[in-house]
Structure 1
């Protein structure tokens, strides 16, 4: 269903009526649609008694595209970032956090547990900073504080990420995204090839191929350079989950995030990369479900 949030049309899926426990808001990462949250992950949260809300971020999936804002020159912006200069983004990461609050407002939800993956973890951090009274608990999965000294993606992974499909036909897009997800995937939990292809085709058919949209989201992340220094103000009980074999956002980024947030708990997932395949989901839920109880009524 569509809701109006922060002046945009945002696609939302609302799961479960809730079993007496507070809602959980799932915030997805860079260039990924709400369907990237595995059904088994959502079902486990619903079965535990939570109403679960997931949504397409702005500029992706079935939510509003912002093509009128143009496409940032990521190469030039990355040079500026390395030089310590400001990155120019079509919109800030805080605007994406405001979108998420707008989704909660549209659904009449005053408070929620906020769980974010990758860029979604960074959006969740912004939410906890902006309106602590609305974030019962914070969970940042394979995210980062954004601190400048942290390691970045492996070079071969960057090459794959910045490559382009031959054309926009389904076979070309499928081949392209198979390479991407194999490059960033979990070495100990490989997704079966047939399942991976199905997920990719379902995603392409639902939301299309949107490199310009992803570039705008990437610029929003890169421009959010002050967040690391602000994380000490977060008061929500915080759980940081990160794979030890993440080639895109190295595990040091998760460790740094947890160090900066008072009282945060850090859990490393051996063999996990930068995805949510079967096997990893169960290992995320083991610490996540008890964590959510910290902000829920007895």
Structure 2
């Protein structure tokens, strides 16, 4: 099992493609395992010449769980009291940089989705010398004036954790119907199978709560993003109800020279119909960053 010691914890990771290719670190979002970077998308990225690295963030999947700290209080954190945060997104950015250290990669292209987008933003701010290019997908800057969820999406995010495997699958189906892409609805049987597999791999709602408090405790990255000097792409769905489009627009406005790529009908997921366009956009950015 491939584990990397990093920042005092262990991260489970997987690699795809030729180690001699362009290194691309993929960072997933809130409560999401590396499995949401689906193999078909990873294969397309490998065909574009990338050496793809996907991993489980701390507190999710097969990576270390951060136990023994304060009980995360989401309501307090939303009200501005971050005293129950066990860590912040800066710590998670340090985790990712430590994974690159373990793999012997001095500089990588980095791409993150949702909370993962926030983490790669922190990487570009704090570890800019390690970053060849940054892609922030369906994410935001931490400015509370932008990217705020619609009420139904917020309710889905804050729903109490399910108490059984079947309840978890049903709740997952309901959530994806609320936050997913209206223009690219998933096959329900495929989605159900993926939700079941993810539950069996790891079900750990306590970690999701700690990650959510970490997001709230990290604050606004806008000023830090103004100092980012790596080629940057921002991808966002025009129909995203969880991190609304203004979050992506604000991210692109904050990073000098960033390009904003939006998709009508895309919500808060990575629909397979758009994978070829995602892969080509990341490859184009990498070619620009690497000089060909």
TM > 0.5 fold call: yes
Matched, 1:203 2:181: no
**CA gap 1:144/1:166 in 2 versus in 1, 3 angstroms:** closer
Matched, 1:95 2:91: yes
Match of 2:42?
42
Kept in 1: contact 2:25–2:109 (CA 8 A): yes
Distance apart, 1:175 and its partner CA: 0.7
**CA gap 1:151/1:51 in 2 versus in 1, 3 angstroms:** closer
Which 5+ residue runs of structure 1 have no aligned equivalent? none
Match of 1:170?
165
Among candidates 232, 235, 245, match of residue 229 of structure 2: 235
Match of 1:158?
154
Instruction: State the Cα RMSD in Å.
Output: 1.5
Which 5+ residue runs of structure 2 have no aligned equivalent? none
Note the 1:34-183 alignment, pairs <5 A: 34-80=34-80, 88-164=84-160, 167=163, 169-183=164-178
**CA gap 1:265/1:26 in 2 versus in 1, 3 angstroms:** same
Kept in 1: contact 2:141–2:220 (CA 8 A): no
Kept in 2: contact 1:165–1:172 (CA 8 A): no
Name the TM-score, length of structure 1 as normaliser. 0.94
Name the TM-score, length of structure 2 as normaliser. 0.96
CA distance in structure 1 between the aligned counterparts of 2:162 and 2:234, rounded to whole angstroms:
38
Range 57-66 or range 174-183, more displaced: 174-183
Match of 2:180?
185
Query: Alignment length, in residue pairs?
Result: 291
Q: Tell me, what secondary structure is at the counterpart of 2:97?
A: helix
Match of 1:249?
243
Kept in 1: contact 2:44–2:276 (CA 8 A): no
CA distance in structure 1 between the aligned counterparts of 2:227 and 2:215, rounded to whole angstroms:
20
Distance apart, 1:164 and its partner CA: 2.7
